[in-house]
Structures are given as structure tokens and as C-alpha cells.
Amino acid sequence: MTFSRQIDILGLDGQKRLAHSTVAVAGVGGLGTVVSQVLVRAGVGRLILIDHDKVELSDLNRQILYDQGDIGKRKVEASSRHLLEIRQDIKIDIFHKRVDSTFFIDTEVDAVADCLDNYDSRFFLDRFCEERDILLVHAGISRLFGQVLSIAPGSKMRLRDVFKAVDGKHYKTQALCAACMTVGAIQAMEIINYLVYGAKGLSCAKSIMSVDLSSFCLERIPLA
């Protein structure tokens, strides 16, 4: 049985909840490849992958789903193929598109993982989740540092409020694979806990989880 080594952790009902859940992963890069793989291996029933980019050689140091045979291919197509090799019963929808002011997907979604690389796109995704009353779990990474924050359905505090002073432009940041895997795993676990236990399962809804792998420090930063 695929999930026999985790059923005592999540419970049979929890495993069923995952199987009936749909998660959208916006950005299938350093964070998104980790998050999508963790969710597939955990048993989420359906994924929606969103990315406008293609795989480059410089992606291979940290984007764990890809290999040299994927260079030049659309990330959503390459990641979908590799994820289906892990679990053939997973349902995957792909959107080769940017998250911008026109962004919309007409699909019922239980949670959204923000794995994007610029705050302009993140804020558009934030508005989409606010309008649809969907959980948004944000994560960001730079060098050996990362952060995770959950915006629960119905929350008056939005991502664009917390990071309103941040430059929205995209910058190619440095990052190690270990940092992407650590922060991505926390982001994915936050989503899994929400799908299994509901809002009470969220650990990052009232504070930012800050990760510093240069000193192995995890810190909660409370939000007023």
C-alpha cells in the first residue's frame, strides 16, 4: 500500500481528506518542485501547476524535479511528467501562464502554494485567493534564508499588507538546494496540516516562520 508508512501519522480519515483535495502550486521552481513532490507523495488527489517559464541549466542546482533532459522544456510539462512517475493516480492540470492581473483558473481549489519569485505576482495571487476564499501559503527564499506565512480563508490580514514595502520586481536570487528543500517542506507540511485538520492545523497563520540555515535557526516572527 502506497501510504502504509504514514497512515498511523495522518489517520485513515486524514488520508482520505488528502485524496479528495486539490492544491494549486504557483511557480514550479526551487520551492514549487519541492512542494509539489511532497504533496504527491503525501497523497493529495489533484494538483494544479502554474508557471510560465522553461527549464534552464542554472535551475538544476536547486529545482529537484528536473534533469538535463528537461532543459528547454516547459516547467509545467516537465514537472507533471516526473510527478506522474511517482504516482500514476495523481490528477494534474497544468497552466503555462504568468500570474498577473488577468490571472484566473476556473477550478475548485482547497489551498494555494505561493512559490513565485516576485511580489507583484504574489500580490495578484493573494487577491485571487481572497476573492475565492482559499488558503494561501506563501514561501520565499534567498541564499540560505527563507520564510513561510499562511493567509487563512477569510483573513483580514493579506500578504500584500504584510509585505507592502517590498519591491515587487523579480530578481534572480542565489539559493542552495538544501534551503529550497527545507523551506519547501515546511510550506508543504503547512498545507497538509490544513487539509487534514482544517484551520486549527495551521502553524504560520499569525506569525512568519523564519528559517536561517547559516545558523540552523528557526524563529517565529509575530504579526501585530
Distance CA 192, CA 184 (A): 12
Q: In this structure, which CATH number among 1.20.1740.10, 3.40.50.720, 3.90.1150.10, 2.40.160.20 belongs to the domain 7-222?
A: 3.40.50.720
Q: What is the pLDDT of residues 161-205, one digit of tens each?
A: 999 888 756 667 789 999 999 999 999 999 999 999 999 999 999
Helix (H) / strand (E) containing 177: helix 177-197
pLDDT of residue 167: 74
> Rounded to two decimals, what is the model's pTM?
0.96
Residue type, 143: R
Beta strands 145-151; 135-142: pairing state = antiparallel
Ranges of each domain in the chain:
7-222
pLDDT surpassing 90 at residue 32: yes
